[in-house]
Amino acid sequence: MSGLDQHGDLGQAAMINFEWPMMLLFLPLPLLVRYFSGVTTSNREAALRVPFLEEFSTQTAMSTRTMSVAWKTLLATMAWALLVLAVMRPLWIGEFIELPVTGRDMMMVVDLSGSMQEEDFIINNQRVDRLTALKYVAGDFIDRRVGDRIGLILFGDRAYLQAPLTLDRETVKTLLYESVIGLAGRATAIGDAIGLAVKRLRDQKNSNRILILLTDGANSAGEVEPLEAAKLAAKEGLKIYTIGIGADEMIIESFFGAQRVNPSADLDEDALTNIAELTGGQYFRARDTEALNKIYAKLDELEPIEQDVKRFRPMKSLFYWPLSLSVLLTAILLLNQYFRRVQ
């Protein structure tokens, strides 16, 4: 059993509640039946028929028979009270737990080709390679996607599923951090990566299926052309956001002195733009860490996180405990009566 609440107090402690508390009114029923029936019985008979405690005798001593009647009266009273308790349907209600809301199915597709080792990004005044910058910014983005199922595909010469769609954001982040340049080969199979993402997202019932492609080059390997893969994604209702990574200008020292070069000369921006437009997404250009941060912030705006968080309170029915004890005590009384008659 369970309970859903959108505005409940998360700090409310676990408790026991009763589904039908009005059943407590049946507790004095045997006493009322005896009173209005007008039947006079002996103490011995009353102990077997009426489940309540008799007044104890004020005599200083009791016979063995009187003790037996008091004992059976006590058991009968307990059996009736436990039966009434079971009919009241006691429930154990746990503390509120936040439920993961139904968000998006989001597949991150990350380029691990050789060109990702180009050190044209700066973090904390230190020059780092493109993959390190991507990890630095993407980690925060993953943390923010509460309620989304996130998966991870790494590609180079070929594409590999590193993490299937999951709500476990920490695992996805860890697998991203553990990825290294060249792990999937040195070339860039963009088409194959999109194709694999489409395959993994195709069977998902969620209508909000997103693919985020991060690359710094052009398609140079694989069996599927990027635009053909994008058309297939559009047919399946997937939206692709593409991000081109790499600085436009970089100064390097050589034998002939300082030279200005374009480390992103191989980046195929036209193809990435067409891929995004075919699927209703957008193309972004990340020339530095700040721009990459802004892109992820923009993605948060374009694909907002669900805010209507539902809360869950686990519930467990407990009626079978008092019911079982009531049946047990009743069985003891019946067996006792049976053996007395046999004797």
| pLDDT tens column, 56-88 | 344 444 444 544 778 888 888 899 999 999 999
To the nearest 10°, the Cα dihedral for 81, 83, 87, 90?
70
| 127 domain residue, yes or no | yes
Residue-averaged pLDDT of the chain: 82
Q: How many CB atoms lie within 10 A of CB 191?
A: 24
In this model, does residue 13 exceed pLDDT 50? yes
Which pair of structure tokens corresponds to residue 32? 């009322």
Same domain (yes/no): 210, 109: yes
Same domain (yes/no): 61, 123: no
Same domain (yes/no): 65, 131: no
Same domain (yes/no): 197, 250: yes
In this model, does residue 9 exceed pLDDT 50? no
pLDDT at site 46: 44
Same domain (yes/no): 233, 204: yes
Nearest one of 201, 207, 199, 197 to 242, comparing CA atoms: 197
Listed range (45-59, 286-300, 305-319) with the worst mean pLDDT? 45-59
| 261 domain residue, yes or no | yes
Average pLDDT over residues 176-202: 92
pLDDT at site 268: 92
C-alpha triplet 27, 28, 34: angle, nearest 5°: 135
pLDDT at site 281: 94
Q: Which H/E stretch holds residue 327?
A: helix 320-342
pLDDT at site 206: 67
Same domain (yes/no): 229, 285: yes
Same domain (yes/no): 26, 166: no
Count of domains observed in the chain: 2
Same domain (yes/no): 90, 151: no
Are 198 and 232 within 8 A, CB to CB? yes
pLDDT at site 42: 46
Average pLDDT over residues 10-30: 82
* Bridge partners of residue 285, in order along the sequence: 244
Listed range (6-10, 194-198, 326-330) with the worst mean pLDDT? 6-10
- pLDDT by residue (tens digit) across 244-299? 999 887 666 666 666 776 778 889 999 999 999 999 999 999 998 899 999 999 98
Nearest one of 195, 252, 257, 263 to 223, comparing CA atoms: 195
Same domain (yes/no): 190, 251: yes
In this model, does residue 50 exceed pLDDT 50? no
pLDDT at site 195: 95
Band of pLDDT at residue 55, cut at 50, 70 and 90: very low
Same domain (yes/no): 71, 119: no
pLDDT at site 52: 42
First-last CA distance in the chain: 49
Same domain (yes/no): 288, 202: yes
- pLDDT by residue (tens digit) across 130-140? 999 999 999 99
Residues 6+ positions from 200 with CB-CB distance below 8 Å: 107, 151, 153, 161, 164, 165
Q: How many CB atoms lie within 10 A of CB 54?
A: 15
Buried b / exposed e along 292-304 (16+ C-beta atoms within 10 A): bbebbeebeeebe
Band of pLDDT at residue 308, cut at 50, 70 and 90: low
Q: How many CB atoms lie within 10 A of CB 107?
A: 29
Domain housing 53: 2-94+318-342
For a pLDDT cut of 70, what percent of the chain falls above it?
Answer: 79
* Bridge partners of residue 215, in order along the sequence: 244
pLDDT at site 270: 94
Residues 6+ positions from 173 with CB-CB distance below 8 Å: 139, 142, 143
pLDDT at site 68: 74
Same domain (yes/no): 148, 246: yes
Listed range (84-98, 208-222, 255-269) with the worst mean pLDDT? 255-269
Highest mean pLDDT pick, 14-28, 108-122, 310-324: 108-122
From the DSSP assignment, how many helices (H) and strands (E) are in the chain? 10, 15
C-alpha triplet 184, 185, 189: angle, nearest 5°: 85
